Structure 1
Amino acid sequence: MLIKVSRLSLKEIVSLISLSLLWVANLIDPVGQGIGVKYPSYFILFLSVFCLFFYVFKRLDKDHKAFLLYFSIYLPLYGFVLMVISSGAQLFKFTDTSYISSSFLFMFTILVVNKKTLFINEFLMKITLYCLVFFIVWVFSLSYISEGGEGVEYFMKSGMLFFSSRQYGGIKLPYIYFIISPMLILLLARNSWKIFIKFSVYRLVTVLLVVVALALSGTRMNILMSVMTVFVVFLWFQFSRLSYNRLVSIVSLLLLLLFLFLYVSYSSFQSLFGDAFSSHDISNLKKIDDLDLMMTIFNNPVFFIFGQGFNAYDWSPLTQSLIGSGGATKTELTYFEFIRVFGVLNFLILLFFFIRYIFFIKVTNVEKKWVQPGLLCYLLASTLNPYLFSLNGVLVLGTCLSSIFYERGVYVVK
C-alpha cells in the first residue's frame, strides 16, 4: 500500500510532517544533544496537536480518550500538585521532566487515527528501525576493521551510542548499545508475526537481522528479549487460531523444550550465566541497592499509596540517596519508580489500562495483531530499564495503542 501525498487531506499532511520529524529525531537525536532535531520536532508536534486536538478528540474511541486523559493530562497535574503538597508549597527548580515530556508526547496519537495515518506511522517506524539495525551491524563490522568513523564518533559524542565490550565467564561480548535499541523489540514482534502468517526466506532474514542487532547491543535484557519476543509472538499467534486443548498441548511442549534448552545452556555456560546475573555485577548491584532504598521509602504508607510527586529529590534525603548526584532524575526500576512518584493507586490504574488493551480488546485485522504481544514484550523489558518514559518509549506505546484502538473497528476519523 502506497499513499500519494496529493491524496492526503490537510490534517493528514500535518500528521505526516509531525510524525516524520518525531521518528527522525528519535533515530538521530533522541537525547537532544545531536544536530538539533528533537526540540523542533516537539514544537511542530505542539502546533499540530493544538490545531487538531478539539476536532479529533471528540471522534476518538472511548478507550483512546480515557488513556489520553489519564496519561497526558491527569498524571502530570497529579505529580505537580503532589509536589507542591509534599514539599510544603516550596517551588524548586523543575528537573523531573521525563514524565511531563512523555505525557505531552503521547498526544501524537491524535495524529494516528485513520488508515492512512496508521500506515504512515508504521512505515516511519519500519524505515527508522531498519536504519538502526543496519547501523548496529555496520558499527560491529567496523570494530573489526578500525576504530570506527565519523558517524560512530557523532553518535558516541551525542550520548546515543555506547561502544565497548563486556566479559562474562571468560567470554568477551560486543557492546554496541544505542539508547533506542530496545525499540527493535517492536520491529521483531512485527516481523515474527509476518513470518508466522506466511513463511518466506525474505521474512526469515528480516527476523534474523533484528535478532542479531538486539544481540549485538550487548545488554542482558536486549539479548533475552531477542529470544523471548519471538517465543511470545508465536504463542500469541497460536492462541489466536487454535482450539484450547491443542493450544495447551503446544504450549506445554514448548515450555518443556524451553526448560531443556535453558538447562543445557546453563550447564554448558554456567560461568557466563553466573557472571551475567551475579549480584556482584555492578549493574545488578545498583538495581538491588535501588530496590532496597525504594522499600524504605515505601515504608511510609502515604508515599506508597499516593506517591511523592515530582522533584522529591529536592526535599527527600532518601530520594537523594536513591537517585544520587549524577544528574539523573529517576532510577532504572521503571514501575517502582512510577509508584514512588504517583503512588500505588495510580500504578493499579495504569496496570488496568495495559491489561485491558493487551488482553481484552480484540484487534480485528490479523496483520496488526502483533502490536499486542509487541507491546507486552516492551513493557516487560522496561521493568528493570528506563525505557518507557522517554521519546522512544512513548513512540512504542503510542504506535501500539493507536493500532489497538483503530483496528478493533470502533471509530474512524476522516
Structure 2
Amino acid sequence: MAETLAGAASDAAEAMPEFPMPRAAGCPFAPPPAVEELRERNPIGKVRIWDGSTPWMITGHALQRALLTDPRVSANDKSPGSFPFVTAYRQEIAKYTPELIVNTDAPEHTRLRRMVNGPFLVKRIEAMRAPIQKIVDGLIDDMLAGPNPADLLTALALPVPSLVISELLGVPYADHEFFQENSSLALDRAAAPEDSRAASNALSSYLDDLLGKKLTDPGDDVLSEMAGRVEAGEMSRSEAVHMGVAMLIAGHETTATMISLGTLVLLENPEQLALVRDSEDPKVVAGAVEELLRYLSIVQVGLRRVATEDIEIGGQVIRAGDGLIVDLHAANWDPEAFPGADQVDVTRPARKHNAFGYGPHQCLGQSLARLELQVVYGTLYRRVPTLRLAARVEDLDFDHDGTTYGVASLPVTW
C-alpha cells in the first residue's frame, strides 16, 4: 500500500507542469498555451520551477486580487518557507539584499514606501506631461531626420524612459548607456550569475557615489530627497542606494518594452491603430494604454510570494511556507474578467487589469509609466501616420529570458 501511494505521488509530481512555459510560435503576444490551459482547468495549481520546488501558480484574475491583498501572503524573500526565486542567482543575492519596498511587508514596507511615495503622486507626475512631450517630440524629430528604416527601440523606446527617469532621479543622462547595459544584464535570467552580480554592483556603486554628491549639493530630484532622509536618519544610505537602483531599472526597462511592443501590436492591428491615431480625445489614448498594458502584461516571470499562514482559497489549501507565483499575463487574459481577452480592443474599459500588480505592493511608478505611454502613443502615430514595420513579425527577435518580455529591436519605416 505504501509503495502504491509513493508511486501515485511520484506520478503526480512527474505530471506537474514546469514553469516558465514556452510561448507558441506565431503567437508572440499571447500567454503560453500551457498557462492558458492551467487557468481554464485550475486557476490555482502547482508547478515545478528550476530548483525542483513546487510553488502554487495563480492564474485567475479574482484569485490574484484576493491573494495580493491578503496579509497572510508575504513579499519577504527572507521568510521561512519555500520562496519561489526566479533563478539561483536571485536566491543567493536575496541573502544580502537590504530591505526594500519590493521585499518587505507592513509595517516596514509602509515606512519605506512613504520615503519615496511623494515624487510619484499623480499630481506631481502630471506636472511632467509638458517636459515629457518635449522629450518625445525631440526624439521623433531626430528619428525622422535620421536613417530610414530606423530601430524604434533605440530611436524612441529606450531614450524616452531613460531621459525621464534620469531627470526624475537627478542622474546625468550622459550615463544612460551604462544604465541600459547594466540593468538589462542584471535582469537577464539567462546571464551568468557573476555577470549579473557585476552589473548590479556597478549600478549600486554609481548610485552610492551620486548619492554622496547629493548629500553635499542637493537638487530638486528624488535622489536628493532620499539624501535628505538619509541625513535626517529616516532611512539608511544602503536603503537609499538600493531604492535608487530599483527605480532606475524599473523606470526605463519596463516602459521601453511597452513602447516598442505596444507599437508592434498596433501596427499589426491597423483598425485599432486608427482609433488611437485619429481621435482628438485624450481619454481614447489613455484607454488604449490600459488595454495594451492588459493585453501585453510584459512582466513574464510573475510576482513571487510566500504564505505565512494556511490559506483556504479557490478550493485549495495553501499551507504556511508554500511559495506562490502570480502570473499577471494569465489573469489579464482571464475571460471571466475580460470577455474576448485574446483580442486587443482599445475601446475596452481595461483599467482593472493586474499589469502593475495589485494591493499594497502595486507598482510605485505606475502613474509615470502611464503618462509616458500616453504621450508616446498620442504623438508618434499622429506625427508619423505612415509608420509601418520594416521586417516580418516572425523575423523579430523576442526576448524570452528577461524579466520583461519584448523585442531586441523593432525596425520601422515610414
Give the TM-score range, shorter chain. under 0.3
Give TM-score scaled by structure 1 length: 0.23
Higher helix share: 1
Give TM-score scaled by structure 2 length: 0.23
Higher strand share: 2
